[in-house]
């Protein structure tokens, strides 16, 4: 078991205490932060978090707003489908739970776009439950600690078992910070790690292959963005924030002026995902 006291001491001295979502236990605020942070750097989320909550301070306020308003707020955060799922989740919380988030793993996972990680993050960071929160950073720490690649069930069981009683909030924040700032993917600073004593990988002189590579929960890196369908989707959503786009302008707007078929195919996926509607020969944001 990782040295709980050592990691908690390290977090108190070295943790990222200034992150604004760590100053709240409001489930809606925590959910907004977690959804924004999915595959998006902290530096990009920081200026957007407070602005989003200023306009949508509660799940109910978000649910009664047009989905277009939420999509417009998502400008610059990427993966725009998350904005639609967040709006839908706000609707479920409002309609099914009367605006009160359920402190239940199974109920939270019924919310659109909320998977095992996000549900556990809300439980730990809003309700302070003693559950293990496993993102790519925490999974990397645990695989290296054990010294071998872990299956999905193994990494979750180890994460849950490692949480000190009544310290779910602090422990999980510490694990996320350790993986993000010390036990990093490419250049881990093992000499500064509070868990180096007892770490299986460090204790065996950090041999190749790195046990974190291929371990469940550890990101393998994103696919190439330039020239991808994701890039075309992003360009179209960015244009729709400014106003409707005629069908005849899809291809140049999406960056594929000579491939109308691809533009139409990819634009259709935005409609399926609830990010756009088509009417009168024009694409626009849903209202």
Active site residues: 34
Rounded Cα gap, residues 12 and 181, in angstroms: 14
Query: 108: Cβ–Cβ under 8 A, 6 or more apart, which residues?
Result: 101, 102, 114, 118, 119, 122, 123
**What dihedral do alpha carbons 6, 119, 223, 186 form, nearest 10°?**
0
Closest CA to 135 of 7, 51, 254, 39: 39
Contact between 245 and 238 (Cβ < 8 Å): no
Q: What angle do CA 225, 89, 287 make, to 5 degrees?
A: 75
Tell me the β-bridge partners of 284: 277
């Amino acid at each position: 078991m990782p040295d709980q006291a050592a990691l908690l001491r390290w977090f108190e001295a070295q943790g990222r205490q200034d992150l604004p979502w760590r100053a709240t236990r409001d489930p809606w605020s925590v959910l907004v932060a977690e959804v924004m942070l999915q595959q998006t750097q902290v530096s990009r989320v920081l200026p957007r978090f407070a602005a989003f909550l200023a306009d949508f301070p509660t799940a109910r306020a978000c649910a009664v707003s047009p989905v277009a308003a939420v999509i417009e707020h998502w400008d610059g955060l990427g993966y725009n489908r998350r904005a639609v799922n967040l709006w839908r989740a706000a609707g479920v919380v409002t309609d099914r739970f009367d605006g009160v988030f359920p402190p239940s793993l199974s109920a939270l996972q019924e919310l659109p776009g909320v998977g095992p990680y996000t549900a556990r993050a809300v439980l730990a960071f809003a309700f302070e439950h003693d559950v293990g929160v496993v993102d790519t950073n925490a999974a990397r720490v645990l695989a290296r600690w054990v010294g071998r690649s872990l299956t999905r069930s193994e990494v979750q069981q180890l994460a849950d078992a490692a949480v000190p009683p009544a310290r779910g909030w602090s422990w999980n924040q510490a694990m996320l910070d350790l993986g993000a700032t010390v036990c990093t993917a490419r250049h881990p600073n093992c000499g500064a790690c509070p868990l180096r004593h007892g770490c299986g990988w460090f204790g065996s002189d950090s041999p190749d292959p790195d046990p974190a590579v291929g371990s469940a929960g550890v990101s393998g890196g994103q696919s190439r963005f330039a020239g991808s369908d994701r890039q075309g989707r992003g360009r179209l959503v960015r244009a729709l924030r400014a106003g409707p786009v005629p069908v005849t302008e899809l291809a140049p707007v999406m960056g594929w002026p000579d491939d109308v078929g691809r533009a139409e195919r990819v634009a259709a996926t935005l409609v399926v995902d609830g990010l756009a509607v088509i009417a009168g020969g024009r694409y626009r944001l849903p209202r």
